């Protein structure tokens, strides 16, 4: 018995410790995996509610008002992007015929996208689209980190078309907030004479006609809609805590479980008042690398409520000749030839 039992017992023992070790291994891996997917970060998130604060943690309206009136604010701005404009077409918004523009398009572009800019100038960015509607188109660029040849080409383009603004920060996805705010800064400084400002990426289809219709009466756009309109954008979305995500955000960067309402599309419109409030409020908003979220936070601090409209398509709206009638903007036009074809066809139909 003893002889028989002993080996069994020993094997058993070895087996249990092996199993135990395996369990510990699985357990540790599981914890690591959960951590990787952000499960623990979620546990420590703060509930997003009416107590939302984001540095600067106080009411900023008074400072914003002071700055708007060229007065000294009680607290100095906490986040100014002090980049220099290398290309600065200061004359762009000075026009003897018009003192006020209806819409100024400010297009977020990258140096290498020469053809996209050309397609935009020849389609929705064409400033003389309507003889009685003064429009302006401006491209906002950063710097290419190393390619001097591209820079030389852009300089020639800027001299020719006089519609390029460039500031001296490195152009990259994570610097989009800088690009946007430098755009705001330029507009506030050199182009305050427009009713509306439209911010658009360079891979977007825009129907100028529908933009103008929309700003005349946003609540009733398009007219055929009879059901109640969605006013106020209640888009519920939460930060990515998954560590491999392109959009990964740590708790120290942003502690809440939800984002403030924000506009997801690469296209949005601000009235002049909204532009001024957004710009000066941004100076009291801690830097955040994603520009759409940053603007959502700024809007929240400035008490500006994003207004939702279905016809700004975040994903590319599948194109047919007849389903773009009410489209205001659509993402997904990174091919300049496609933009030109679609836009010309819609223009011929009276939809662009």
The nearer residue to ligand NAG, 180 or 210, going by C-beta atoms, is 180
Distance of CA 227 to the CA centre of its chain: 29
Contact between 326 and 311 under an 8 Å Cβ cutoff? The reply is: yes
Distance in angstroms (rounded) separating the CA atoms of residues 208 and 269: 12
Which of 231, 113, 247, 100 lies closest to 171, judged by CA? 113
- Rounded to whole angstroms, the Cα distance separating 231 from 309 reads 8
Look up residue 248 and give its DSSP letter.
B
| CB-nearer residue toward ligand NAG: 27 or 174 | 174
Tell me the closest approach of the beta carbon of residue 22 to ligand NAG, in angstroms: 43
Give the residue with the Cβ less far from ligand NAG, 122 or 175.
Answer: 175
Taking the complex as a whole, how short is the minimal distance between the CB of residue 180 and ligand NAG, in angstroms?
13
Q: Which is nearer to ligand NAG, 37 or 169 (CB)?
A: 169
Residues 67-86 that bind ligand NAG (CB under 6 A): none
Given candidates 27, 44, 174, 247, which one binds ligand NAG under the rule CB under 6 A? Answer: 174
How far is residue 10's CA from residue 16's CA, in Å, rounded to a whole number? 10
Minimum distance, C-beta of residue 351 to ligand NAG, in the bound complex (Å): 39
Sign of torsion over alpha carbons 152, 153, 155, 159:
positive
Letters for 132-171 (x = contact with ligand NAG by CB under 6 A, - = none) are: -------------------------------------xx-
**Smaller CB separation from ligand NAG, 172 or 341:** 172
Assess 175 for contact with ligand NAG (CB under 6 A): yes
Write the CB contacts of 11 (distance below 8 Å, at least 6 apart in sequence): none
Footprint of ligand NAG on residues 252-311 (CB under 6 A)? Answer: none
Distance CA 241, CA 38 (A): 5
The residue number with the shortest CB distance to ligand NAG is 172
Helix (H) or strand (E) holding 86: strand 85-87
| One residue of 88, 118, 122, 172 binding ligand NAG per CB under 6 A | 172
Distance CA 317, CA 330 (A): 6
Contacts to ligand NAG by CB under 6 A: 169-170, 172, 174-175
């Amino acid at each position: 018995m003893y002889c028989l039992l002993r080996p069994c017992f020993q094997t058993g023992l070895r087996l249990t410790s092996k199993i135990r070790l395996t369990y510990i291994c699985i357990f540790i891996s599981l914890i690591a995996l959960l951590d990787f997917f952000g499960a623990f970060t979620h546990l420590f998130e703060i509930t997003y509610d009416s107590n939302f604060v984001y540095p600067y943690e106080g009411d900023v309206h008074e400072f914003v008002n002071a700055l708007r009136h060229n007065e000294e604010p009680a607290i100095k701005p906490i986040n100014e992007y002090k980049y220099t404009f290398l290309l600065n077409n200061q004359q762009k918004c000075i026009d003897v015929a018009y003192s006020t523009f209806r819409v100024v398009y400010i297009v977020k572009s990258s140096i290498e996208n020469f053809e996209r800019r050309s397609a935009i100038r020849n389609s929705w960015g064409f400033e003389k689209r309507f003889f009685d509607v003064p429009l302006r188109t401006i491209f906002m660029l950063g710097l290419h980190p190393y390619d001097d040849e591209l820079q030389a080409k852009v300089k020639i383009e800027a001299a020719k078309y006089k519609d390029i603004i460039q500031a001296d920060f490195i152009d990259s996805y994570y610097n989009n907030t800088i690009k946007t705010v430098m755009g705001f800064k330029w507009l506030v400084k050199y182009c305050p004479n427009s009713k509306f400002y439209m911010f658009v990426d360079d891979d977007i289809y825009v129907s100028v006609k529908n933009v103008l219709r929309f700003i005349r009466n946003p609540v009733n756009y398009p007219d055929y809609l009879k059901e109640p309109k969605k006013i106020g954008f209640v888009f519920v979305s939460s930060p990515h805590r998954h560590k491999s995500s392109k959009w990964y955000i740590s708790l120290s960067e942003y502690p809440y479980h939800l984002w403030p309402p924000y506009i997801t599309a690469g296209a949005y419109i601000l009235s002049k008042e909204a532009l001024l409030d957004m710009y000066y409020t941004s100076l009291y908003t801690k830097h955040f690398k994603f520009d759409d979220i940053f603007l959502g936070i700024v809007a929240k601090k400035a008490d500006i409520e994003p207004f939702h409209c279905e016809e700004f398509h975040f994903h590319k709206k599948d194109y047919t000749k007849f389903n773009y009638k009410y489209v205001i903007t659509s993402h997904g036009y990174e091919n300049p030839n496609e933009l030109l074809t679609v836009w010309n066809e819609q223009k011929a139909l009276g939809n662009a």
